Amino acid sequence: MSLVLATLGIGVLLASALAAVAVGRREILALRLGTAGAVAGSVLGGAAAVEQLLRGGATLARAPWRLPLGTVTVGLDPLSAFFLLCIAVVGGLAAVYGAGYLRGYAGQRRLGPAAAFYNLLVAAMIGVVLARDGVLFLLAWEVMTVASFFLVTFEDDRESVRRAGLTYLIASQLGVIALFVLFALLRAHAGSFAFAGLLAAGAPGGGLADVAFLLALVGFGTKAGFWPVHVWLPDAHPAAPSHVSALMSGVMIKMGIYGLLRTLTFLGAPPLWWGATLVGIGIVSGVIGVLYALAQHDLKRLLAYHSVENIGIIALGLGVGLLGQSRGEATVAFLGYAGALLHVLNHGLFKGLLFEGAGSVLHATGERAIDRLGGLGRSMPVTALTFLAGAVAISGLPPFNGFVSEWLIFVGAFRGGAFLGGGAGVAALAVIPALALIGGLAVACFVKVYGVVFLGVARSDAAASAHEAGAAMRWPMVAGAALCLAIGVLPATFVGLAAPAALQAAALAAEPLGVLGALPAITRVALILLAAAAALALLRAALLRRAAVRVAPTWGCGYPAATPRMQYTAASFAEPVLAPFASLLHTTVVDERPAGYFPRTARHEEHVGDMAGERLLVPAVRRVLDAAGRLRVLQAGRIQLYLAYVLATLLVLLVWQVAAVAP
Amino acid sequence: MNGILPVAAHVALLVLLPPLLPGVIGKTKALVAGRRGPPLLQTYRDIGKLLRKGAVYGRPTTWVFRAGPLVALAATFVAGLIVPLAAGSGPLDFAGDVVAFAALLGLGRFFTMAAALDTASSFEGMGASREAAFGAFVEPGLFLALTIVCIPAGSATFARAWAALPWTVWSPTWPVVLIAAVVLGVVLLAENSRIPVDDPATHLELTMIHEVMVLDHSGPDLAFITYGAALKLLVVAALLVHLVVPVPAEGGWAGVLWFLAGTAAVAVVIGVVESTNARLRLQRVPGFLIGAAALAAVGVAVLVAQGQP
C-alpha cells in the first residue's frame, strides 16, 4: 500500500511538472499547477512514509521493464520511509511558500520551468530513497542534481548565480564519480547492482569495505556538505530562490546522509576507525561551519554555513552510532543513530523555516546584508516570531526540536564514553565538548542574526519600509514553527517515528530497553517551562495593572543624539566570538586608524574567506591539473603517433588474450 | 525524587534562598574591605521594592524585550527543578538531565541577549556580544567538568553522578573530582558575571557585561532579572556544593544543613575571590575560560588513563 502511494506521488509530481511546462506562457497557471502537484505528491509521499513507519517491515516491487545494466526495483523500509517523511514535509511546505514567493517574479522570469524543476527535484529525491538498484539509484541521483542545478540558476542573468550554479554542478559531478566507482566495486563483489543482491552477498572483505566506506564518504559527503567538500554549498544555497534554498538545505543535502547510511548497511560490521572518522568530520564541519556562519554578513550565506554545522552534528550522531556498533553496544549505537536521524528531520524543519524567513525579509526589503536591516519585528510580526522559533530550535534549546536530537546524541556520547572503552570511548568523549562548543557558538550566531535583523531599529530605508509577507508565505512558516515546537514538546511520538530507521541503521532487532524512557520527562520540562513563563507573564501583568507604565527613549548613557547607525552591528557583535579563532579562520584585516588631531579618514575591513576552498581544494586541483598537463605530451597532434597508439593497444590486447587462453 | 515533602523542601529552598546569596557575598566583601556593607537581606528588599514599582519601556522595544526576563527566569527555575539541592536528586530528575540543565541555562542566556538587542542601544548590544562570546567559551568547560563526574556513574544524570562520587578518603579518583570542582568554580564565576570575568559592582557601562544588558529594564522586569540572577547563582553553585560537601542522597534535615553550609561556603569563597582579584582584561577572558576547559580535558584524560570508563 505504502509503495503504491509513494510511486503515485512520483507520478503526480512528474505529471504536474509536465503540465506546468505545457501551459506555456500562462505563468500564474503554471505556478498553480506545479504547486498543486507538489502538495499532492508530498501528501501522498508523507502518507506512504507514515503508513510504512507505523506498520513496520519492508516492501519491495519490481517493474517488468529493464534498465541498461539494472532493474527498476523500488522498495520502502524504515530507513527510506523516514527520509521520505522528511522530503514530504519540507517539500510540501516549501512548495506552498514558493507559490507566494515566485509570484513576485511573474512577468520577469519563466515560472513554469521553475515549478516543473521543483517538482522534478522532489520526485527525484523520492526516487533516490525508493530505489533498490544501484543503477536506478544513480539515475535518480543525477536527475536530482540536474533539477537542482536549474533551480539554483533561476536568476541566471546574474554572474554570481551562474558561477554558483556551475560550482555546484562540478562539485556534484566530482562527487558522483566516487559513487560510480563505489557501485562498480560493490557490483564486482556481489555480482549485482540490486540492493538485495548486495545485502545477500554479505560484507566485502579484504579492505574492500574500507575502500567502499571512503568512497561513500567522499561521494555522499560532497552532497551532504561535509568539510572540506562543502565549498559549493555556501555559494549555491544563497543563489537559489528562497523556497529552493529551503528544500536544498532542508532535505536535498540529507540525501547524502541517506546514501551513506544505505551504503553502510551493505558493508557489514564497522571497524572502530569508521566511527572515529565520522566523529572527526563532525567536529570539524560543526565548529568550522558555525564559525564561518558567525563571520558572514549575508543572511542566506550565513544560513548556508549553518547547514555545514548541522551536517556536522548529524555526522557526530552517526559517528557515535558507528562507534557503538563497532563495540556491540546496542544502546550507544541506537542513541547515536536515532539522534542523527531525528536531527535530519529537525534540521529540515527549522532550516526550511529559516530560509523561508530570510526569503520573506529579502522579498520585503530587497536586502540580504544583515547590517542594513533591523527593526523588522514591528513590520513583519509573523515572520519575526516564526524566525525566532527557528533560531531557538537550531540553537538546540528547549522547548524546541533541535534540543531533542542533540540531547539524544549527547546522551549517546556520555554512555559511549562510559562503556565503550579504549579508542572508541575516547572518540565518543570528544563528541561532548565539541557539541557543547557548537551549541554555544550557534546561540551566539542566532542571537546576532535575530537581534540585528528583527530587533532594534531599521538601519536603512529599505528596512524601514518593510511589509509582512503574503498568506501563502506566512502559513508554511507558521506550520514549520509549530512542528518544531511539537517535536520539542512531544519528543516520544516523533522519536518513535525515527526509531525503526535507527534500528535498521544500527542492525538491531529490537529497541534497547529503557533508552527512550526519559523522553516523557522532556515533555514535562517543556510544559513546566512554558507554564512558568506564562505564570510570570500573568504575575507581571497583575503587578503593572496598578502601577504606571511609560514608554520612553532608550537610555543612551547620557548621549542624546544616537542614530540607528550607532546600533551594534552583526560584525561588531561577532567580533569577540571570532577573535580567538582569527588564526584558524585566516581573517584578513585592513585597518586605517584615525590619526592626528582632526582625523579625516578611518577605515576598518575584515574578510573571512573559506579556507577549505582557498587553501585546500584550489591547490589540490592545481596539482591535478599540473599532473594532467604532463600527460599532454602524449597528445602531440600527429596522426602517425595516434595510429601507433592504436597499434600498441591492439598488440597489448592480443598478448593479454593469448596469455589468458594459453593454459 | 519522590514524595511531597522532599519536593516541597526543594521548591521552598529554590524560591526563598537565592536572594540571600548576594547578601552573603556582599557581607564577605564588606568584611574584607573593613566596611559594614549592606544588610544581609538587602536583595529581598530590593526585589520587593522593584515589584511594587511601575515600568518604563524603551521606544524601539517589542514583545521580545518584555519576554526576555520572563523566559530567562522561567528557564533558570526549571533548571533549578532538575539540579539536586538538599538531596541526591531534584524533583524533575531523569536519565540525561545534565544535558537539559545546560540547555536551559542557554535558553535563558539567549533571551537575555535578545532583549538587550531589542533596545537598539549600542551599549546593550556590546554587553550582549560579550555575553555571547563568553557564554560560548564556557560551554565546553561546563560539559567537560560534568563529563568527569558523569563517566564513572555511566550516565549523564545528576542523581547517578552524585551517588557515584568518591567520598572515601584517598579514592583514586578524588584528584580528578577536585579538577572538576575547580572548573565548575570558574564556570560559576563566568555564568554569573562575577570577578574576574565581569564585575557586578562596576559603574561604567563600557566595562560591563551582564549589567549593561539589563540597563533598560525597570520595575517588575528588573525584579525578575535581579531574582533570576540570584537564582542562577544558587543553581550553578548547587553543582559545586555537591562536589565538595557530602550532601546525603536521602536528603532530610541533614541534607538541608549540609546544603546550606555548602552554599554559604561557596558564597563566602566568591566574596573572597572578588575582594582579592581584579577583573581580567576583556581580551584575556576567552583564554581564562578555554584554559579551564583544557584543565577539565586533562581531568577527563586522567580518567581515561585510569581505565575508569
B121: nearest CA in chain A? Answer: A567
Are the Cβ atoms of A456 and B120 closer than 8 angstroms?
yes
Task: Say which residues have a Cβ less than 8 Å from residue B88's Cβ, sequence separation at least 6.
Answer: B159, B162, B163, B247, B248, B249, B250, B251
Q: What is the distance between the alpha carbons of residues A283 and A433, in angstroms, rounded to a whole number?
A: 10
Mean local confidence (pLDDT), B250-265: 94
Taking the Cβ of residue A581 and every Cβ of chain B, the question of whether any pair is shorter than 8 Å is answered with no
The type of residue at B263 is T
What pLDDT was estimated at residue A299? 95
- Domain span at residue B169 reads 4-305
- Residues of chain A with confidence (pLDDT) below 70: 662-663
Q: In this structure, what DSSP letter does residue A592 have?
A: E
CA distance A229 to A312: 12
Please report, as a single letter, which amino acid is at residue B281.
R
Q: Does A439 touch chain B (CB under 8 A)?
A: yes
Mark yes or no for CB contact B139/A436 under 8 Å.
yes
Euclidean distance between CA atoms B77 and B90, whole angstroms? 12
What is the model's pLDDT at position A595? 87
Report yes or no: A172 and A165 within 8 Å, Cβ to Cβ: no
User: Which residue in the set A406, A514, A568 is minimally distant from B129, CB to CB?
Assistant: A568
Is 60 exceeded by the pLDDT of residue B279? yes
Question: From CA A154, how far away is CA A177, in angstroms rounded?
Answer: 26
Q: Chain B residue with minimal CA distance to A455?
A: B118
For residue A522, the model assigns a pLDDT of 95
Q: Round to whole Å and give the CA distance between A198 and B158.
A: 46
3-state secondary structure (DSSP) of residue A426: helix
Contact by Cβ (8 Å): B279, B189: no
Helix axes A159-190, A134-152, angle to 10 degrees: 180
Q: H/E element holding A45?
A: helix A27-55
C-alpha to C-alpha distance for B97 and A100, rounded to whole angstroms: 43
Chain A to chain B, count of Cβ pairs less than 8 Å apart? 283
Phi, psi of A588 (to 5 degrees): -100, 135
Contact A242, A358 (CB under 8 A): yes
- Work out the minimum CA distance from B68 to partner chain A, whole angstroms: 10
Chain A positions touching B140 (Cβ under 8 A) are: 433-434, 436-437, 440
Determine the pLDDT at residue A563. 84
CA angle B166, B170, B173 (to 5 degrees): 45
Single pTM value for the model: 0.94
Closest residue of B to A555, CA-based? B216
Q: What percent of chain A has pLDDT over 90?
A: 71
Contacts 24+ apart (CB under 8 A), B1-9: B1/B84, B1/B87, B1/B89, B1/B90, B1/B91, B1/B93, B6/B87, B6/B91, B6/B251, B7/B91, B9/B86, B9/B87, B9/B251, B9/B256
The verdict on a CB contact (< 8 Å) between A429 and B99 is no
CA distance A572 to A171: 34
Q: Who among B64, B96, B110 is closest to A455 (CB)? A: B64
Chain B nearest CA to A501, separation (Å): 22
* Residue B308, pLDDT score: 57
Q: Is the CB of residue A65 less than 8 Å away from at least one CB of chain B?
A: no
Tell me: pLDDT of B93 over 70.
Answer: yes
| CB–CB contact A436 B142 (8 Å) | yes
Over residues B123-136, mean pLDDT: 94
How many domains does one find in chain B?
1
C-alpha cell at B282: 576583556
Residue that wins the pLDDT comparison between B185 and A608: B185
Grid coordinates standing for A560? 542624546
